[in-house]
Amino acid sequence: MINECQPTAVLLEEIKQLRRELAEANSIINAIKHGEVDALLISEEFNDQVYVLKGADHIYRVLVEEMQEGCATIAANGIILFCNKNFADIVKLPLNRIIGSSIYNLIKPQNTGDFSSFLSAHGGSFKAEYSLRTGDGFSTPVIMSAISITLGSDTFSCLVVTDLTNQRRSEQFLQMIFNQAKEPIIACDRDGRITQANPAAVAMLEEELVGNYFDTVVPLVRISDGTKFQLNQAIDSNSSYGIEVQHTQCNSPPLTLLINAGRFNADDEDTLIGCVVMLTDITDKRLLAEELARLDRLNVIGEMAAGIGHEVRNPLTTVRGYLQLFTRKSKYADDHEQLAIMIEELDRANLIITEFLSLAKNKSVELKPGNLNDTIQALFPMLQADAFRLGHEIHVDGGNTEVICYDDKEIRQLILNLVRNGLEAMATSGILTIRTYSENDKIILAVQDTGIGISEKIINKLGTPFVTTKEAGTGLGLSICYRIAERHDAKIEVKTSSEGTTFLVKFKVHHVGP
């Protein structure tokens, strides 16, 4: 007997199963409709089959829409068929004004030729740096890359545009620093050959730099040990201060430079691919340090002078008195000549002590308003007699100088010392000129000679007591001048060459009133 209930239950179960499968199929169809599925994998008895669906390019559309670069599709005649939002942002135009318009509206006339050759070639690829016209009347620098695609009988070009504005700005920024920097900056390749040099470097080094080796074209000597400087030393140096070197040029005084170098390494590696060298001119700083050291020495000596000068002078006076007494006595008649020499030597020692005493720092000065030209005029007969005795000429060129406050006695001493040195530095028929003039709020007293120039041996020690190149020199004249200048808040500058020397004493003008 057939059980009537059995097939009904089976059928109901089958209906349930079919409904479940139908729901599953519907949801797959919906996913396909919404572009959520790119491909289907169908398992068959012996092998699996992949069916790629239409609309599978959805993911690429999203990618193109969202990517950071500008994208566009161009027809062979240059009409823009599609572009993404970034492309519109780069050319600063709304999308609806770009699509359907010609790409040639955006490309500058000087570049259209290249691009149209690419479009009409119907194949291949293209890459160039262009400047695209923008909707606001300006332009944007870009890299344009394009490839040609043929679909059926039509050819399209896909364009990717990268905005270079930020890159260009930082390049311009660096270029501006490079060009405007007062410090010389030099870039070298890994072999030490100069690839770039900024205007400050060209001006300082006065050489053909680019293309030459740094070590050959910029000969430098290390100040610490006097050895030849090599670029590698700066690259490998761990010192954050740098390396002090001296650079000697013909026709100009040597420069003291501070060298710092930074290396360029290959990405993530310690392999040197080049370096940037920065040179700082610290000549003035060094001179200032030397000047301070000199003043310091003068101070010590001045204090010493003040301390012992008087103590030494008193016994000298006593001895001199006795010697004079002996010259009058008949029993020393045979020794007159020696006694005269002894007195002369004592007088010389006394003179040195007098000069030495004027180095004392706390020596008081009597500053009164006056015109330097008057002091020079008053001294002139004496100076002229000196010059004549030595066979030289002396000229005074008193310019328009304002009244300054100075101690007449001291400035006479200063002029006398400078003029004597000038006269002594000239062999025969020399010309010594004393000039006064105003320059930038300063009154200048210049003493110029046509002598042999200051010996290199002592040029850095000028003003140090007892430094002399003369057989009978005391080496105190200039120390006194520097000290007098210091007491007058004036500065002494020296210009010297084999053609002669000029000492410039620069006084400040203190304007009174509003």
Ligand X SMILES: Nc1ncnc2c1ncn2[C@@H]1O[C@H](COP(=O)(O)OP(=O)(O)O)[C@@H](O)[C@H]1O
Contact residues for ligand X, defined by CB under 6 A: 417, 421-422, 425, 449, 451, 453-455, 458, 467-470, 473-479, 501
Cα–Cα distance between 415 and 408 in angstroms, integer?
11
425 binds, among Mg ion, ligand X, none (CB under 5 to 8 A by kind): ligand X
302 binds, among Mg ion, ligand X, none (CB under 5 to 8 A by kind): none
CB of 384 to Mg ion, least distance (A): 18
458 binds, among ligand X, Mg ion, none (CB under 5 to 8 A by kind): ligand X
- Of 430, 413, 412, 401, the C-alpha closest to 357 is 413
- Of 407, 411, 441, 437, the C-alpha closest to 510 is 441
474 binds, among ligand X, Mg ion, none (CB under 5 to 8 A by kind): ligand X
Q: Where are the alpha helices (DSSP H) in 77-197?
A: 85-91, 95-98, 109-121, 165-180
410 binds, among Mg ion, ligand X, none (CB under 5 to 8 A by kind): none
CB of 415 to Mg ion, least distance (A): 12
- Of 159, 248, 261, 147, the C-alpha closest to 206 is 248
- Of the pair 44, 471, the CB lying nearest Mg ion is at 471
- Of the pair 12, 494, the CB lying nearest ligand X is at 494
396 binds, among ligand X, Mg ion, none (CB under 5 to 8 A by kind): none
- Of 152, 160, 154, 156, the C-alpha closest to 127 is 160
- Of the pair 148, 413, the CB lying nearest ligand X is at 413
394 binds, among Mg ion, ligand X, none (CB under 5 to 8 A by kind): none
- The backbone torsions φ and ψ at residue 457, rounded to the nearest 5 degrees and listed phi first, read -60, -30
CB of 191 to Mg ion, least distance (A): 54
- Of the pair 93, 419, the CB lying nearest ligand X is at 419
Look up residue 123 and give its two tokens: 């194949």
Let me know: does 503 contact 447? Beta carbons within 8 Å.
Answer: yes
Cα–Cα distance between 107 and 91 in angstroms, integer?
10
CB of 425 to ligand X, least distance (A): 3
CB of 497 to ligand X, least distance (A): 11
Cα–Cα distance between 379 and 448 in angstroms, integer?
17
CB of 465 to ligand X, least distance (A): 8
451 binds, among ligand X, Mg ion, none (CB under 5 to 8 A by kind): ligand X
470 binds, among Mg ion, ligand X, none (CB under 5 to 8 A by kind): ligand X
460 binds, among ligand X, Mg ion, none (CB under 5 to 8 A by kind): none
- Of the pair 220, 480, the CB lying nearest ligand X is at 480
368 binds, among Mg ion, ligand X, none (CB under 5 to 8 A by kind): none
Q: What is the CA radius of gyration of the chain?
A: 46
For the residues of 187-242, what is the DSSP string, one character each? EEETTSBEEEE-HHHHHHH-S--TTSBHHHHS-EEETTT-PBP-HHHHHH---SS-
Q: Would you mind telling me the total number of residues written for the chain in this entry?
A: 514
CB of 344 to ligand X, least distance (A): 17
Let me know: does 454 contact 501? Beta carbons within 8 Å.
Answer: yes
CB of 477 to ligand X, least distance (A): 3
CB of 422 to ligand X, least distance (A): 5
Task: Give residue number: closest CB to ligand X.
Answer: 477
Cα–Cα distance between 100 and 41 in angstroms, integer?
40
Look up residue 287 and give its two tokens: 């001179």
Q: Give every CB contact of residue 421 below 8 A, 6+ residues apart in sequence.
A: 449, 477, 478, 503
- Of 498, 467, 500, the C-alpha closest to 482 is 467
Look up residue 91 and give its two tokens: 């050319």
- The backbone torsions φ and ψ at residue 133, rounded to the nearest 5 degrees and listed phi first, read -70, 145
- Of the pair 322, 466, the CB lying nearest ligand X is at 466
- Of 100, 72, 66, 93, the C-alpha closest to 161 is 72
74 binds, among Mg ion, ligand X, none (CB under 5 to 8 A by kind): none
Task: Give residue number: closest CB to Mg ion.
Answer: 477
Q: What is the DSSP letter of 79?
A: B
Let me know: does 188 contact 201? Beta carbons within 8 Å.
Answer: no
- The backbone torsions φ and ψ at residue 20, rounded to the nearest 5 degrees and listed phi first, read -60, -45
Question: Where on the chain is the footprint of Mg ion (CB under 5 A)?
Answer: 421, 477
- Of the pair 98, 425, the CB lying nearest Mg ion is at 425
Q: Where are the alpha helices (DSSP H) in 329-401?
A: 336-357, 372-389
- Of the pair 99, 467, the CB lying nearest Mg ion is at 467
Paired with 505 in beta bridges are 445, 492
- Of the pair 78, 463, the CB lying nearest Mg ion is at 463
- Of the pair 187, 444, the CB lying nearest ligand X is at 444
CB of 421 to Mg ion, least distance (A): 4
Cα–Cα distance between 416 and 379 in angstroms, integer?
8
- Of the pair 122, 470, the CB lying nearest ligand X is at 470
CB of 351 to ligand X, least distance (A): 11
CB of 299 to ligand X, least distance (A): 17
Let me know: does 70 contact 83? Beta carbons within 8 Å.
Answer: yes
- Of the pair 99, 396, the CB lying nearest ligand X is at 396
